[in-house]
Amino acid sequence: MKSPAELAAKLGRQWQSASLRTSRLLQRGHWPLRLMIGRPTAGIFARETEAVRRHAQSWRQVRVGKVAWESTVYRAGEAPVELPVAWEIGTPSEWIEATGDAAIQAEYRALGQLVEGVDPLFHSLILRHRSLALDRPAGEVFKASEVALALSPGCAGGRPLRAVTVCNIDSKFLERNRALLTQMLDARFGGLAGGAGLEAFLGAAEDSDHWLLVAPLVPGLLPFAQQRVPVGELAGMPGEASRILIVENERCLHQLPALAGTVAILGAGLHLGWMRQEWLIGRHVAYWGDLDTWGLAMLAGARRALPGVRPVLMDRACFDRYAPALAVNEPVRAGAEPPEGLDATEAAFYQYLCGLERGRLEQEFLPADTVAAALGAWHGQTQR
């Protein structure tokens, strides 16, 4: 036999479960809840008749939800006994009231206010990661929702976060709400902001220098075979490195052939604002990324930073050749429209990918001989 206090405590514990809290508040299929109270056994009824009577009386005093009663016959009783068998909770507000916990009730009211004030895209985030929202003023959360909808990959254009001006925010807003905004952007863009880091995702200059994997493609060009280097030190690249190959993913290092005078810079992802640096002017620069909308969006970002950059293995012919065996679904696309920075052919390829069920081909799965041939062709053309 469960008492009202025992089941109220159980309801309170359920509120603390992020997944249960989120699903119950957002999905109608959970309601009504039916919590089983349990019946006394014949032995308990016979030995503790007064305790059973008090148990039934405690449930008659419950004013939240609906208590289901059933008539039960015991040999020790003179007549059928009405006993509570289940507690039905019909709505989220009844759930919270039934806990009898003032702190939970206050939290529920605060979360309700926040959910009403942010875009529906972020409702699950607010409810699941409540501390991100409850630890700051409601107005700040509402503004963060507005800002997250206004931001886009690379929109900072190489400026520091404090110089990003959207939605009339102050210069410290993005830093002050970094964690919340990153989670909101992850909700929009499938986790990319959290994976890349906020500065890299927005294309903003970082206060703490970004590190990239640098690898010369012939021995002796640099004093190491591969090394992580802060962006600020790339300006020291020797003049003998006349060709720079920028590669989206570090996992592709093993596919790169030996190329004279060439240095590969890998793992920049969306962090491409550094390509505006003067040391790149006068060098031959190529970009190689995934064959999907995000890869093309990064190519666009690279070209906005350095208009003369040349794409390698990022066209429809390459995609169509290998897609039947290698293409997969792209969970979240970079956007419905081609980003600024693509030429007409690349923009048409972007739209083509948006119309495919399997519109993503990751660069590291391309055959090594195909990669070597394409990069060798680029290298040969830059010698003319």
Decide: pTM greater than 0.85: no
For residue 320, the surrounding DSSP H or E stretch is helix 316-326
Task: Please provide the distance, in angstroms rounded to a whole number, between the alpha carbons at the two ends of the chain.
Answer: 88
DSSP string, 17-40: -HHHHHHHHH-GGG-SEEEE----
- CA distances 221 to 54, 177, 197, Å, are 88, 43, 31
Where are any strands of DSSP class E within the chain?
33-36, 66-72, 81-89, 211-216, 227-230, 243-247, 262-266, 284-288, 310-311
| pLDDT above 90: residue 29 | no
Q: Is 89 helix (H, G, I), strand (E, B) or coil?
A: strand
Average pLDDT, the chain: 91
- The answer to whether the beta carbons of residues 300 and 293 sit under 8 Å apart is no
pLDDT at 34: 94
143-202 pLDDT, tens digit each: 999 999 999 988 888 888 888 889 999 888 998 898 899 999 999 998 888 877 788 888
pLDDT at 312: 97
Q: Could you give the CA distance from residue 357 to residue 38 in angstroms, rounded to a whole number?
A: 51
Task: Record the tokens describing residue 365, joined without a space.
Answer: 């799965």
272-331 pLDDT, tens digit each: 888 988 999 999 999 999 999 999 999 998 998 899 999 999 999 999 999 999 999 988
Among the listed residues 347, 213, 192, the one whose alpha carbon sits nearest the alpha carbon of residue 270: 192
Helix pair 344-354, 293-305: axis angle to 10 deg: 160
Among all chains, which residue has been given the structure tokens 């790169």?
Answer: 256
Ramachandran category for residue 117: left, alpha or beta (phi over 0 → left; psi -120 to 50 → alpha): alpha
DSSP string, 198-216: HHHHHTPBPSSPPEEEEEE
Q: Could you give the CA distance from residue 1 to residue 10 in angstroms, rounded to a whole number?
A: 14
Question: Would you place residue 334 in the very low, low, confident or very high pLDDT band (cuts 50, 70, 90)?
Answer: confident
Give backbone dihedrals phi and psi of 266, rounded to 5 degrees, phi first.
Answer: -115, 150
Which residues fall within 8 angstroms of residue 245, CB to CB, at 6 or more apart?
217, 256, 259, 262, 263, 264, 265, 285, 286, 287, 288, 312, 375
Among the listed residues 329, 328, 346, the one whose alpha carbon sits nearest the alpha carbon of residue 337: 346
111-145 pLDDT, tens digit each: 999 999 999 999 999 999 988 888 889 999 999 99
Q: Could you give the CA distance from residue 24 to residue 21 in angstroms, rounded to a whole number?
A: 5
Q: Could you give the CA distance from residue 250 to residue 261 in angstroms, rounded to a whole number?
A: 20
362-384 pLDDT, tens digit each: 999 999 999 999 999 999 998 75
Task: Record the tokens describing residue 132, joined without a space.
Answer: 């991100």
- The answer to whether the beta carbons of residues 191 and 213 sit under 8 Å apart is no
- The answer to whether the beta carbons of residues 148 and 188 sit under 8 Å apart is yes
pLDDT at 315: 97
pLDDT at 271: 80
Among all chains, which residue has been given the structure tokens 């309700």?
Answer: 112
pLDDT at 207: 54
| pLDDT above 80: residue 79 | no
pLDDT at 17: 93
Report how far Cα 113 is from the mean position of its chain's Cα atoms: 24
For strand 66-72 and strand 243-247, is the pairing parallel, antiparallel, or unpaired?
unpaired
